[in-house]
Structures are given as C-alpha cells and as structure tokens.
Chains A and B, each alone.
Chain A
C-alpha cells in the first residue's frame, strides 16, 4: 500500500493555503501565506535568524501545526494524515537528534526495515549513499562519536535512503566541508531532476544558485513573494 501511495505522490505539488502561525498570542510568524511548491523544483527559504524559516519547516514536516490554513499534498491534507504524508517525505532537521548508540549503517537499516523497504539490495544502497555523502569508514562507529559534519551527513542519508518524493532540509550544508558540500549539492540536483520536490532553508543564498529555482525571503511578505519568483 505504501508503494502505491508513494507512486501516486511522486507527481504531487505541496500547496499551502492561507497558512498562519503564531506562538500563543504573540505576533504572527507566518500570516496568510499561500504558495505552491512544485515537483522538479528546489526552493530555498532565506532569511535572518528568528524570521520563521524553521517554523515553516516544522509545519511542513508535521512537527508543528498551523494556527489556521491548510497544506495539501495532492489531495491529502498533510496535518490530517501525517503518517500517509510522511511516507513520501525525508526530513533533515536543524538539530542533530540521532540515537547515540547505533552506527550510521544500523540506523539506515532500521529506517528501511521500519518503512518496509528493506530488500537484498539495501545493504549496497546504504553503502553507496554513504559513499556519495563521503561518510568514511566511521559509518561503522556509533553515532555518539561523530563530529558535527558527520552527523549532518548521517541526517541527510536518513532523509534520502527511503527515496522520498519530498525533501525538507533545514540548514543541510551546515558543518560540511567543501567537498562534501559539492557532493551533496550534486545529489540534490539529481533528486530534483528525478521528480523530487526540495525545500531547504539556508543562510548561504549565493552558493545555492546551482540548485535552487526559487527563493522565499523571510520574514514573509506576500507581495514580495511574487517578485522573488
């Protein structure tokens, strides 16, 4: 059933319809924001700290719920059916939040098995992905020993191993050395070309130009949005 859903979802856009979000009775961080993220596109959320990028990423990943409005993935309201939506989604959160006592390989195996995607080829797929991300022989060491760059590579691998239709990445290049950044960029370009839908937040606007087609500047202003695109 999951593969059928995944197949259906590969050509779906992610549509935000008048989404607003505030924390308690504070000012609206996001106000009546409508936008459509399309497949085969990469959109960068750009802006200073505290401007709402991570809030939007959390809403898109169903870790937070909007104050009003809705988000549709095809015909699916993602907050009404988060499990169904997450079948097609890979998430790279800002904070490394990985189990300390598993190796990267064990973690990826766990995820594939949990999502019923493990097969005879999976061991090779894991190693190939970690090769591309340049996570070296320490992939067999426990995650608790990893540096920040290695943690980020592992997070990216976690998001990509299930071949999602949608990738949500919060600061995906933070902590990566230049070679790893280039390799990750190539991987994401290939993901996009294969009908992927990529949304990422970053401070590094200029270096995203080979990858990103659209930019959304935070704090959000609906009028400026059209001009940026």
Chain B
C-alpha cells in the first residue's frame, strides 16, 4: 500500500542532488572529446573508486535502520525486508549508472560512434558495480553476530589484551569484523578490476565482464541460502550497528576529555563553542578521518601512476566535495534538531561555526598537496593555491547552503 522508504530531509535530498549534478557537469565537460581508450580507462578508475566507496561506506548506507519501530509494527517478511533495503539503495545504483552512461556515450563525435564497443564496456562496468554491490551487501548484512561477539567481549580476547597492554588500538574492537570486511571487499574489488584489465589486454578483447559476473555470483549464491532467514540477519546486524554508531568506542561511557575544548584554540572565540561541539559529535558519530586519509593515499597513488590531468582534477574535485559532507552531516537532526540549533545561536554564527569545522581538514589537504608538489613536476604552486582556494570557497558555500536548508528554513517557517 505505502511502500516503506527511508524518509529524507530536504538537506539530504538537496545535498545529494547538488553533489551529483556537480559530478555530472564536470564529467560531461571534460570527457566529450577524449579517445575511446581513455574512456575505458576512466571507467576502470571509477570502478576502483566505487570499490573503495562500497567497501567503506556500505554499512553506513544500510544501518542503523531509522524506521525500526515502524518495521516492527509492519513486520515485513524476509523477502519484503530484502526489497525494502534494496529499494533504499536504488538511487545509489541509478546515480552510478548515469555516470557510467555519460562516461561511455557522451562523445563529441556522436554517441553512436564505436557504439558496440561503448555498449560492451558500459555493460561490463555496470555488471562489475552490480556484482560488487551484491557481494558487499551479502558480506555486510551477515556481520552482526560476529561484530556483537567482538563488541561485547565474547570474542577478540587476544586483541583486547594487546590493547590493554600496549595502549595501541585506535579502532574500537567491535569494528574489527567490519574492518576485515572492508579490507576484503576493497582487495577483491581492486583485484577484480586489475584482473579484468589484464585479461582484456592479453586476449585483445573486452573480458572485463568476467570479474563482474564472478562478483555477482559470489554475492547472490550465498545470499540465496540466507534469504529465508534474512529477518534474523537484518535485526541482528541492525541491533549491532545501532549500538555501534551511537557510541563506537566505549558504549556511551567515559567520554570525558576525548576532545578538550582547548584543542579548538585556533577558532575565533565567538564560534569556538559550537565548532568544538560539532567536531566532538562528528568524530564520535562518523570516522571521517579515516576516509580522508584514504582519500589522500589514493591521490598519491594516482600521481605515482602518472594518471592524466583529467583524472587528477576530477578526483580532486570529488575529494573536495566529499569533504563537504562534514557540513551536511552537521545539519541532520541527530546532531541537533532545528529548533534546538535555532535557539542556541544565530544563523550567521552557524555558518561560521560550520565553516571552521570544515577548515580543520584544510591543513592536512595543504600538506598532502605539498607532498605531491615536491614529488611531481605536474603539480605546481599555482595548482596548490588554486585547489586551496577551491576548498575554502566550497567550504563557505557549503556552510551557507546547508545552514540555509536547515536553520534558515526553520526560521522562515516559524517566525
């Protein structure tokens, strides 16, 4: 009757759409005149990026379930639960499909130029992503039991002992199965891309559909075994991630002095308190630092492999857009409802607080680009300054944009 969907706020919808449009515009501007071979290389790079995306982000897309009490009331069957979760991810796959379509067919010489080859590579890339998606989904949906065992002390005694003795463990122990899964999916996905490219080069024909097909089989075949008891996996994994995402490090206990107020000394006093509280909340809820570190590593890999300027620029733009997710996340109700934020400080102060929260990643970006500049003659001081300016400007625009969607619209409604 009413298909159950995750409800999205205006902020979520607008930010997703806006980011997507930027990516599409950038791709269409830059690829319309490139060679066929470059298109296929770009498709492979996208497959690599999306491997990283699904490896790291997928559990955040799936869990925790925000409609839990409604799901309990509706009590969908296992098959209905599967359909529900897949429906919630349809726009992700659709967005990727659109990107692949544009990369494959947006051609100054006409989309029908070398159409057979383009269709082949488009379909094999799509098959790869669908295969990767199903593989990742299968892995993450069944992770709850193991994760809870690590989280609550049933398993992982050696690791816990190591942490207690050495004090060296930056990762919550409950996250270990997730991390292992992330690494496995990342490695499998990357090897699949490399394997497909290798086969195609060796046999001088497109064999890149093979790894996609294998991934799909690796995802769907085991999934068919758990389909009938999917409800058990869904509820268990959701229960784990609900507790984990609420407080990954210590179950809600002993958070004092995790992030002292003094650590934001560099922020003007007027905005220091809300900047500090935003950083504390963000870092507890979302381990973005790891993603950003991975992003920098991937940038260095791209330069090391001598990737074209097109790819470097495209990647840097995406990377900066990803940074701006910080600000979007701050304008969700879990970080502070609109009514609460609105009472706390003015709209202009929210804009500046969020800007400074974003700016904390500026120094790592500068350092990373400086490393690139030192080791690569292609990246000049001009490039560094340009990308720095783009970062600062995008941070300011994002801060204004998301604050407009969140607090300003609230003010317009209720004042």
Question: Residues of A at under 8 Å CB distance from B?
Answer: 22-26, 61-65, 67-68, 79-83, 86-87, 89-91, 93, 95, 97-100, 102, 106, 109-111, 113-115, 158-159, 162
Q: Report A168 CB to chain B, min CB distance, Å.
A: 9
Question: In the complex, A61→B73 CA distance in Å?
Answer: 11
Residue of B nearest to A82 (CB): B235
B73 near A91 with CB under 8 A, answer yes
Contact residues of B: prevailing secondary structure: helix
Q: Give the shortest distance, in Å, between A133 (CB) and chain B (any CB).
A: 16
Whether A99 and B252, one on each chain, are in contact in the complex, defined by CB atoms closer than 8 angstroms, is no
- B171 to A: closest C-beta gap in Å: 13
- Asked if B250 is at the interface of the complex by the 8 Å CB criterion, the answer is yes
Q: Does B58 contact A (CB under 8 A)?
A: no
Nearest A residue to B233, CB-CB:
A82
- State whether B174 touches A99 (Cβ < 8 A): no
Q: Does B59 contact A (CB under 8 A)?
A: no
Q: Give the residues in chain B near A81, CB-CB below 8 Å.
A: 229, 231-232
Contact partners of B247 in chain A: CB under 8 A? 23-24
Contact at B72–A63, with CB atoms within 8 Å?
yes
Q: Which residues of A contact B242 (CB under 8 A)?
A: 63-64
Asked if B412 is at the interface of the complex by the 8 Å CB criterion, the answer is no
Which residue of the partner chain, among B72, B232, B239, contacts A64 with CB atoms under 8 Å?
B239
Could you give, for residues 149-176 of chain B, a 1 whenever the CB lies within 8 Å of some chain A CB and a 0 otherwise? 0011110000010000000000011100
Given the known interface contacts A68-B154, A81-B229, the answer about A86 and B251 at a Cβ–Cβ threshold of 8 Å is no
Residue B2 at the chain A interface, CB threshold 8 Å: yes
Is A65 a contact partner of B144 (Cβ separation < 8 A)?
yes
Give chain B residues whose Cβ lies under 8 Å from the Cβ of A80: 229, 232
Which residue of B2, B73, B151, B239 contacts A24 across the interface (Cβ within 8 Å)? B151
Question: Which A residues lie within 8 Å of B268 (CB)?
Answer: none
Instruction: Give A93 to B144 CA distance when docked, in angstroms.
Output: 23
Closest 10 CB pairs of A and B: A23-B251, A24-B251, A83-B231, A114-B74, A86-B75, A26-B251, A67-B152, A97-B69, A82-B235, A65-B239
Contact B231 A22 (CB under 8 A): no
Q: Is the CB of B243 within 8 A of A22?
A: no
A113 to B76, CA, bound (A): 11
The docked-state distance in angstroms from the alpha carbon of A98 to that of B152 is 31
CA–CA, A115 and B80, complex, Å: 12
Chain B nearest Cβ from A54, distance in angstroms:
13
Contact check, B73 vs A63: say whether CB atoms are below 8 A apart: no
Interchain nearest-CB distance for B170 vs A (Å): 15
